[in-house]
Amino acid sequence: MDPSLINILINTERKEISSLYDAHRTAFINFGRKYGADPDTMADIYQEAFVVIRKHAIKGRLDQVDCSFKTYLFGIGKRMIFNYHKQTKNTVSLESMLYITDEIEEITYDTSNELSVEQTLLRTFFDKLGKRCQEMLILFYYRGLTVEEIAKKEGYDNVHVVSSQKSRCLKQLREMINTPEQ
Amino acid sequence: MKPQELISKYIQNSLTKEEEQEFDSLLASDEGFRKEVAFHTNLKKVAEDKDDDNFRALLSDLEFNVKKKRYPKWWYVAASIIILLGAFYFWNSKKPASNEELFAAYFEPYRNIVQPVVRGEENKDLKTIAYNAYENGDFKKALNLFDSLLTHKQEPSVLFYKANALLKLNDAKKAIPILEKNSTVVDSFSEKKYWYLALAYLKDNQPEKSKEKLQMILEIENSEYKKEEARELLKRLD
């Protein structure tokens, strides 16, 4: 896939995401219509499909992919539409849908994203951290940026500032965990 | 290598073959190390979850803008009708719109952006039913179900939607403390809470408080959520 598009997903600049979002929205909704999903549902599915494709971008799963951004996005969407029909037990016949012809191949994605009880608790503490801490931990833990990369991206003077800032954030988090609820 | 460094590299998937062996043997032999690894692994998952939610908030903001653009004609028609009605009203009574009327003009229950499709345990099914009721406009039922969900766990998102249901059911008095209590929690509903709090105060005939919250919306950085409406409403309240 076009690396510049992968970078747009990873960097998540509002402007760039916005134009990408607007570019495919109408086609996506029409695509869903063909499969018996109404526009409101499709708008929700469109957003979730974006969440998934961004996850894949961050995890490096798009680097080796041959198809275009659009085809991949629609592939996720197709899978989501099928799941939606299954879950809502819609009367739309799944079988008849198999005969609709398009070049979109379904893309599978991980649906086990529920947090465990422990993680849910950790998430409530995480939400209480300041914005800077949240961002820093997201960059390090989820996006996998090294301390050097974070320093560059966030405009810190040097890696030591980042390291100590990160330790402070972790300390705050651990303190919340170890303090019993008021 | 220090255990802490090993864990960092493990989290970022950058262990070399030898480091991996070192990591595995520590994992097998050292209880404290295992706990540390579990903590950092959980944190990785939580960071992902949070980042996804932030992204979802951005997307629903974009979606909101698309919808606004998509119906420009309707907006013009609606706006002209409102202006005409307003002029007519003004002409007849020379009295500005009441707080109640302003509330009715601006309030709309926040749409359900909490994942509607969750399956599995009883607990989760209850959630699905609750949000379905909310989406289908059955706010009484939704309110009851939100309440039983909340006895399990005080989830911020459920509280937020409960407040919305209360507002829709004209019970601003009960909605206010819920939104106030949660307004300090920073999450994907932050700016929304101020907006609904402003409306709740309006409904409860406390325009000064309402203005205070609207002002706060205008001060939030990096968000365009309801700023235009907040400015407009502030003008009308003055």
Predicted ipTM of the assembly: 0.92
End-to-end, the C-alpha distance of chain B in Å comes to: 65
Look up residue B37 and give its two tokens: 């690894």
In this predicted structure, the answer to whether residue A169 has a pLDDT above a threshold of 80 is yes
Predicted pLDDT at A31: 92
- The secondary structure of residue B111, as a DSSP letter, is P
CB A77 within 8 A of CB A101: no
In this predicted structure, the answer to whether residue A139 has a pLDDT above a threshold of 80 is yes
For residue A22, which residues of chain B lie inside 8 Å, CB to CB? 62, 66
Predicted pLDDT at A123: 94
In this predicted structure, the answer to whether residue B124 has a pLDDT above a threshold of 70 is no
Beta strand residue intervals within B80-223, DSSP E: none
In this predicted structure, the answer to whether residue A180 has a pLDDT above a threshold of 70 is no
Dihedral angle over CA of B92, B93, B95, B99, nearest 10: -90
Say whether residue A122 is in contact with chain B using an 8 A CB cutoff: yes
In this predicted structure, the answer to whether residue B234 has a pLDDT above a threshold of 80 is yes
Give A111 or A20, the one with higher predicted confidence: A20
Give B84 or A51, the one with higher predicted confidence: A51
3-class DSSP assignment, residue A41: helix
Q: Which of residues 32-91 of A touch B (CB under 8 A)?
A: 43-44, 46-48, 50-51, 54-55, 83-84, 87
3-class DSSP assignment, residue B125: helix
Predicted pLDDT at B127: 83
Predicted pLDDT at A157: 82
The reply to whether residue A115 touches residue B47, judged by beta carbons under 8 angstroms, is: no
Residue-wise pLDDT for B71-120, tens only, equals 666 667 778 888 888 777 666 655 567 888 889 888 988 888 775 655 55
CB contact burial B81-118 (16+ within 10 A = b; e otherwise)? eeeeeeeeeeeeeeeeeebeebbeebbebbbbbbebeb
Find, in chain B, the residue whose alpha carbon is nearest to that of A112: B118
Quote the CA–CA distance of B191 and B224 in Å, as a whole number.
9
Q: Measured between CB atoms, which of A44, A54, A144 is closest to B55? A: A54
Closest CA to A32 of A17, A18, A48: A48
Residue-wise pLDDT for B27-51, tens only, equals 999 999 999 999 999 999 999 999 9
pTM of the shown model: 0.59
3-class DSSP assignment, residue A102: coil
The reply to whether residue A47 touches residue B66, judged by beta carbons under 8 angstroms, is: no
